[in-house]
Amino acid sequence: MKDKIVKLLDDAIEVLNAEQISELLEQPPKKEMGDYAFPCFRLAKELHKAPPLIAKDIADSLEQADFIEKVEVLGAYINFFLNKDQFASTVVSNSISDSFGSSEIGKGKTICIDYSSPNVAKNFHVGHLRTTVIGNSLYKIYSKLGYNVERINHLGDWGTQFGKLIVAYKNWGTEEAVKEKGIEELMRLYVLFHDEADKNPELEDEARAWFHKMELGDEEALKIWKWFFDISLEEFKRTYKLMGVEFDHYTGESFYRDKTDSVVKELTDKNLLTDSEGAKIVDLSEYDMSPCLILKKDGSSIYATRDIAAVEYRKATYDFTKCLYVTGQEQKLHFAQVFKVMELLGNEWAKDSLVHIPYGLVSLQGEKLSTRGGNVIYAEDILHEAISKIREIIEEKNPDLSAEEKDEASRIVGVGAVIFNDLYNQRIKDVSFSWSHITSFEGETGPYVQYTYARCSSILRNIDDFTPDGNIDFSILSDETSTELLKEINRFPQVVVDAADRYEPSVVARYAVDLAQAFNRFYTENRIAVDEKNVRDARCTLTYITRRILKDSLDLLGIGVVEKM
């Protein structure tokens, strides 16, 4: 409908093109002002007239169209009132298809997304949830738009910290303790190393020596490192499974360790490397940035070196259109340095293709959360606690569900509640955990949207003779709440595009709430299970479409649905 109105205006306005008209066309703040409004202020300079006069002239010159009920001029605005039957027919015929919201915008293009990336031998804590759920959602959004997406988990599995861990293990650890307690024991050893190094600084030299052995391919050093890596990945994958998250590649920093020499050679050949107190750097002062460290004094690589190698490998392997890095704001400078070095190496594509996607911090609002000791909150504990709290609510509200149904609903809704709470916020903003809000079945929450989906499922389950074919009496859907629901449905394809353009899953999360609220208003005002078949079929069709788009929206966020709750 918007495109049709743009076409009408384009035929009547010579000084603007269709794209400019589309950008200016807006939805009025009040329903009585119509469905769309076109402001004429911008035309005053070109046409040398007052905007209200321009609005009247354009309105008078518009061709009549069957999809427009009436056109009114209010000040400098041309207000369009849609023919409700035509609007319902257009929206239903478009949205009844399962492919509604999908597109081929990204056909033939590849996007790499680097996200999650926990550090090996350290716990997967609550802070890792943000990068994981944001990255997973972006993967789903871009996939829906037809892109080929490579999901990359760039594990922190290389660096001096492993030299520290090997020293700690050899001095104070045992094979039995590591096998029994896994990451918990590795974390204990890592903390113990720093405590002891404060008293004996020579331990730091030992750690650097062990990491240097790793870089040189020492068999003993790499065997211990690989053991720690396998233990960590097993624990990480357990958390990912609970969240429903998968990756195409677990290519961490260690994957690029044999590729850093070529980076150093390339930088040297292009005269970009300079000495700095024995280390090798790329001087970026010309770009108001601190230097990018490439090699430490002992000749060891650093994560910037490995990130440069990773960019070159990914470009050569996947020929990406864009490579996205979902990490915290604190890494803004690091990626600015890496991207600038890629440009200085002569890669013009780096300016537009490499994108850092930062996000805010996670706070816990002083809530008491289950932990495994210490001050670190494990992501897995957060998820299990959410599942437990949702189970209590479901037990109270719907005790008739079977134990199996309660288990499934608790898991899907509990995990979804945590994910939705994160993604509903703009990613750059900090996220706070409040159990009373996260697990609420009312308001702007995941359980509210999932409950609305379950309500739609229940309605359709209890209608025996309904077939969702879109062949309905559209005049039944001309009331206010039906029209408002149709407007929300109509927005879905553009919501997906906007979320991708802005790297912002919150666009989808907020839309899901808007759609759920519009449906619940429609449901309150309109009885669905009525005797009149034409009325029942029309309202069931709207319920069917809403149900599917709620499911699609939640799927784009990495959240599941349940049929009964």
Instruction: Please list the active-site residues.
Output: 122, 125, 128
What is the rounded radius of gyration, in angstroms, for the C-alpha atoms of the chain? Answer: 29
Q: At what angle do helices 379-397 and 219-243 cross, to 10 degrees?
A: 20
Tokens, residue 301: 């690589």
Which three-class secondary structure state does DSSP give residue 531?
Answer: coil
- Contact at 8 Å (CB) between 91 and 470? no
Q: 172 phi and psi, to 5 degrees?
A: -130, 0
Tokens, residue 357: 């996607």
Q: Which helix (H) or strand (E) holds 68?
A: strand 68-74
Q: Which residues contact 13 (CB under 8 A, 6 or more apart)?
A: 21, 43, 58
300/158 Cα distance (integer angstroms): 11
Return the DSSP state at 326: E
Which three-class secondary structure state does DSSP give residue 431?
Answer: strand
- Contact at 8 Å (CB) between 70 and 81? yes
Return the DSSP state at 156: B
Integer CA distances (angstroms), 355 to 34, 112, 304, 331, 492, in order: 40, 10, 16, 12, 25
87/385 Cα distance (integer angstroms): 45
- Contact at 8 Å (CB) between 91 and 490? yes
Tokens, residue 297: 């004094």
- Contact at 8 Å (CB) between 244 and 558? yes
| DSSP alpha helix (H) spans, 173-217 | 175-181, 183-199, 202-215
Judged on CB neighbours under 10 Å (0-12, 13-18, 19+), 98 is exposed
Residue with tokens 């999809």: 67
- Contact at 8 Å (CB) between 377 and 369? yes
| DSSP alpha helix (H) spans, 398-441 | 403-424, 435-438
- Contact at 8 Å (CB) between 260 and 142? no
Integer CA distances (angstroms), 335 to 259, 308, 338, 417, 453, in order: 19, 10, 5, 31, 40
559/50 Cα distance (integer angstroms): 51
414/384 Cα distance (integer angstroms): 8
Q: 269 phi and psi, to 5 degrees?
A: -60, -30
